[in-house]
Amino acid sequence: MRSREQAALVVLAVGLLAALPLLLSSYLLFQVSLALTFAMAILGLNLLLGYGGQVCIAQGAFFACGAYTTAILASTYDINPLLTLPAAALLTSLVGVAIGLPALRLPGLQLAVVTFGIAAVVPQLLLKLDWLTGGVAGIGIDPLEKPVWFFGSEETWLYYLCAAGACLCAAVMARLVHGDSGRALRALRDNASIAASLGIDLIKTRLTVFAISSAFAGLGGGFYAILNAYVSPQAFLATRSIDILVGSILGGVSSVIGAFIGAVFVLFVPDWASEINPALGGLIYGLCLIGMILIARDGLVGLVARTVRRLLTALSNKETQPLPVQRPAQGGEHS
């Protein structure tokens, strides 16, 4: 994609994000804000899986780490929730490095199993460490109030905060996947032996990507805690990591925009499926997942891009086809 096309796409996406409060109700705007928090975690997984080639199914655990960091700092130490977000991202990145240091020596499937085990253990730890996490009761924090200079509603203020956080993660990822760092990541993903022969430090690169991916999830978790003004272990079961993985695959594992599309899918489609038939909501959602994966094997972004390319190719071929030559009529008028 050309730089002008990329710039136009970025402007269009930012304009759409800015205009959504004018188009949606307060409830839908809150739901979209939640989707943006998941998009941050999916962006981190896209960076790790799509470019680093590492299969991680623990993004839900990192999401929980960021959420509880914000909740604990805001409730126990009376810190402004917004000021806790850097701490949530930093602490989660350190946790990611601590987990990734031994785990990254494992091959793909073993790494996936280990990280999914972490995702399953974290909710139990949150229950056991009730002196810190509140146990089953969870932690409540004071709702974030909008500033006096902001004339919109509180839902709009929270939405713009989440949109700013998601755009920040998207910008960081876009910067990382281009240039020398992007080439190093793709070399590591495609063939680790060749990447090592080119002088790329495999362990350092993998840990860096793991730390940044975890930080994205932690930042999303912090925003999630601010949005809900409450966190509990029930919100961070192992299925949360599965949802993030599904969002990454459906949107496109190597796409920035795909992370937002995947987040919208995993948040809204289950609710829509339940509205169609509450008893068969899970079945309908599962069939949707199967159908989407069969149709869009490289993600919804890849499907759209492929469709647009085919349309442009068809239009180009139609325009370049030579016009039919008109032959003179047989036999003329006799004088």
pLDDT in tens, 32-72: 999 999 999 999 999 998 888 888 899 999 999 999 999 99
pLDDT at site 275: 81
- Evaluate whether residue 80 is within a structural domain: yes
Strand runs labelled E in 182-266: 230-231
- Evaluate whether residue 1 is within a structural domain: no
Nearest residue to 167 (alpha-carbon basis) of 63, 39, 266, 50: 39
- Evaluate whether residue 127 is within a structural domain: yes
Q: Which two tokens stand for residue 278?
A: 């509450």
- Evaluate whether residue 228 is within a structural domain: yes
219: left (phi over 0), alpha (psi -120 to 50) or beta: alpha
Question: What is the per-residue DSSP string for 32-99?
Answer: HHHHHHHHHHHHHHHIIIIIT------HHHHHHHHHHHHHHHHHHS---GGGGHHHHHHHHHHHHHHH
Phi, psi of 140 (to 5 degrees): -105, 145
82-97 pLDDT tens trace: 999 999 999 999 999 9
Per the prediction, the chain carries an average pLDDT of 86
- Evaluate whether residue 36 is within a structural domain: yes
CA angle 130, 145, 157 (to 5 degrees): 110
pLDDT at site 329: 57
Number of domains in the chain: 1
pLDDT at site 164: 95
Q: If you compute the radius of gyration of the chain from its CA atoms, what whole number of angstroms results?
A: 24
- Evaluate whether residue 242 is within a structural domain: no
Residues linked to residue 231 through DSSP beta bridges, in sequence order: 139
How sure is the predictor about 7, in pLDDT bands with cuts at 50, 70 and 90?
Answer: low
pLDDT at site 323: 54
pLDDT at site 5: 58
pLDDT at site 331: 52
pLDDT at site 335: 44
- Evaluate whether residue 213 is within a structural domain: yes
Write out the residue range of the structural domain in which residue 218 sits.
24-237
**Rounded CA separation 97/112 (Å):** 16
Q: According to the per-residue pLDDT averaged within each range, which of 61-70, 179-188, 318-327 is highest?
A: 61-70
Angle between helices 59-76 and 108-128 (to 10 degrees): 30
Task: List Cα–Cα distances, 10 to 54, 170, 174, in angstroms.
Answer: 27, 10, 11
- Evaluate whether residue 308 is within a structural domain: no
Q: Is the pLDDT of residue 106 over 90?
A: no
**Rounded CA separation 113/8 (Å):** 40
pTM metric for this prediction: 0.90
297-320 pLDDT tens trace: 778 887 877 887 788 788 777 766
pLDDT at site 91: 96
pLDDT at site 4: 64
207-235 pLDDT tens trace: 889 999 999 999 999 999 999 999 999 99
179: left (phi over 0), alpha (psi -120 to 50) or beta: left
